[in-house]
Structure 1
């Protein structure tokens, strides 16, 4: 999402909270990790993508991209839909159970019976962007079902992909127990509220063991920002962004976070091998005013299918669309899913899809 300005008072409040923080922060930047910085004068502390000038997309749908599908029942054309299709039977035995809450929020039960959450956002945007977004161009989404206190208290680790408001909500953090580990990209900890949180910031390709799991932070092709006080302060790309790869005895699950398509997917495959379960975004790519920018930082459904092929995913679970989405960069709530089904057939993709409605879960 783009910059949204708010008051100087809000910025000062954030600064005071950061300065008084007693959060416990670990920073992982091992020798084999990767970080890439801008070379622009005065901005050498800002992160950039591994392939910042990439724009050679293998496939682009230009005609008849949103074909009707009998697998979707909708209240209006491509709007407020339910997927009714049967997913392809799989013979996977990875030990992962995936529950989708909506947008980018997932709960993962791991093979060693831990519980991880990716990008948990269960409310609207944090203040003041909740009302600023509403007044400027957006609307309040349908909120996903809030997990029970017992589920939140049983969460072993929360992993954030980046600091954009639709992926990181401070209002949800207080619900977790004091024992919860928070894994984040570099530069993230200063955005946490004060509360004695246990935070690990990680560079690309840094790893951290959690129980019997190995957790790897991997590159994405995106950007970050959260604060803009015109002429006084901005934080464009001061925090890193990326995805998370879970590994247990050779069984892998990949959550890509918000990302555009680039050669970083091939790089991930070269480093970790083929991926069993891939949670890949397919939405927020449409913009009549800025199509090149939206395509750069968000994948079209065909981009996601190409990425899944390059990762050699054994199953792809799409996300980003849906009844609980904000529809930023989307034609309708489910237009991206219609396009995915169209392009999956048109490209004769061999990657099996497992499509979830919000609140559903599946074991692989």
Structure 2
């Protein structure tokens, strides 16, 4: 509930009147990250940064409800019973985790955290291993399943890629853990590096990119590509950039959608950096109140077709099943995804958390029907 209040502004004044938000945040200021002043020097170099804020290529409303409707939506988030699974989510201990990286494979660790293997390289996306996605360890959306593998058990990765600075994508405790257990750089959109610097991450491990800028690691290229979303870790918004990512090896290409609404720029990304062989598309936390910043399952299929060769390749859904961030039923995103994908001839794999996905290994075992 705290994350919903902070992210979408539900009843902020009334919540502070009760004082519970201040109590929840007590002792956790570090997790808030950098201030706008800390971020400004990097942000100012971007053509996407205008009048003190980053902007989308296409206008996007983050919320279209009045105060009363927001209160009703917050109540729905708290009270709707089918927003959680009816039994424990089956988690799989990852196989082959210590072997050589494959040409194309992925492990979904939950939400938007994916360990991707591309042509012998490993890339970890939006890692969050904490119990809550919140500035507080005491309040906020709680995991509905444990991480499939302990953070320190992850194999060595070549890059850690972040899509934006919302708490369910940029988690301070996980970042600090990875700083201790990994040697890879953190490759982030403009401004997000300021959060990492506040948390003590060494400058040489931070790579900040604007849209359409790239970073090369041997034969692997990481391209910061546009998304349609917003950013912010408390009351200021859009002082850091948000993005999707093109992960390009010599033979295989992966598109990581991060957190985004549908945008016409997907087709431009495909023209510049595709077509992609594997897509990691967000399918959850949608609602009519914020149609521009989160895709629904049908839009995810459309986006997959935009960035692949006429829908070829495999779609792996992300941004669902781990945290409850919208009032839709828990399994609805994958059920709708399968229906839309079948109609469009798109191959889908829906792994259990931790399960390895390889090229053309479609997984449609309905494990989510709990």
Q: TM-score range by the shorter chain?
A: 0.7 to 0.9
Map of 1:225 onto structure 2: 232
SS at 1:129 equivalent? coil
Map of 2:161 onto structure 1: 159
State the 1:211 CA deviation: 1.9
State the 1:147 CA deviation: 3.2
C-alpha distance in structure 1 between counterparts of 2:60 and 2:331, whole Å? 30
C-alpha distance in structure 1 between counterparts of 2:34 and 2:83, whole Å? 45
Map of 1:344 onto structure 2: 341
Listed as ranges, the gaps of 5+ residues in structure 1 are 39-43, 56-74, 84-93, 229-234
State the 1:155 CA deviation: 2.1
Structure 1 stretches (4+) deviating beyond 4 angstroms? 5-19, 26-30, 75-83
Specify whether residues 18 and 155 from structure 1 end up closer, same or farther in structure 2 by C-alpha distance, changes over 3 A only. farther
Relative to total residues, which structure has the larger strand share, 1 or 2? 1
C-alpha distance in structure 2 between counterparts of 1:82 and 1:15, whole Å? 30
CA displacement 1:315-351 (0-9 Å, x = unmatched): 11112222xx112114232111111122233xx2122
TM-score by length of 1: 0.73
Q: Which moved more, 1:336-345 or 1:138-147?
A: 138-147
Q: CA RMSD in A?
A: 3.4
The 5 Å alignment of 1:83-232 reads 95-111=103-119, 113-125=120-132, 128-133=135-140, 138-147=141-150, 149-151=152-154, 154-176=156-178, 177=181, 179-192=183-196, 193-196=199-202, 198-228=205-235
Listed as ranges, the gaps of 5+ residues in structure 2 are 7-11, 13-20, 63-81, 91-101, 360-370
C-alpha distance in structure 2 between counterparts of 1:15 and 1:104, whole Å? 20
Specify whether residues 28 and 205 from structure 1 end up closer, same or farther in structure 2 by C-alpha distance, changes over 3 A only. farther
Is the Cα–Cα contact under 8 Å of residues 28 and 136 in structure 2 kept in the other structure? Answer: no
- Counting matched residue pairs gives 301
Q: Which of 310, 331, 335 pairs up with 2:332?
A: 335
Is the Cα–Cα contact under 8 Å of residues 106 and 117 in structure 1 kept in the other structure? Answer: yes
Is the Cα–Cα contact under 8 Å of residues 28 and 206 in structure 1 kept in the other structure? Answer: no
C-alpha distance in structure 2 between counterparts of 1:16 and 1:217, whole Å? 22
User: Relative contact order (C-alpha < 8 Å, sep 6+): which is higher?
Assistant: 1
Q: Which of 27, 36, 44 pairs up with 2:48?
A: 36
Specify whether residues 131 and 173 from structure 1 end up closer, same or farther in structure 2 by C-alpha distance, changes over 3 A only. same
CA displacement 1:241-271 (0-9 Å, x = unmatched): 0111111124210111000001111111121
SS at 1:132 equivalent? coil
C-alpha distance in structure 2 between counterparts of 1:15 and 1:78, whole Å? 30
C-alpha distance in structure 2 between counterparts of 1:316 and 1:29, whole Å? 35
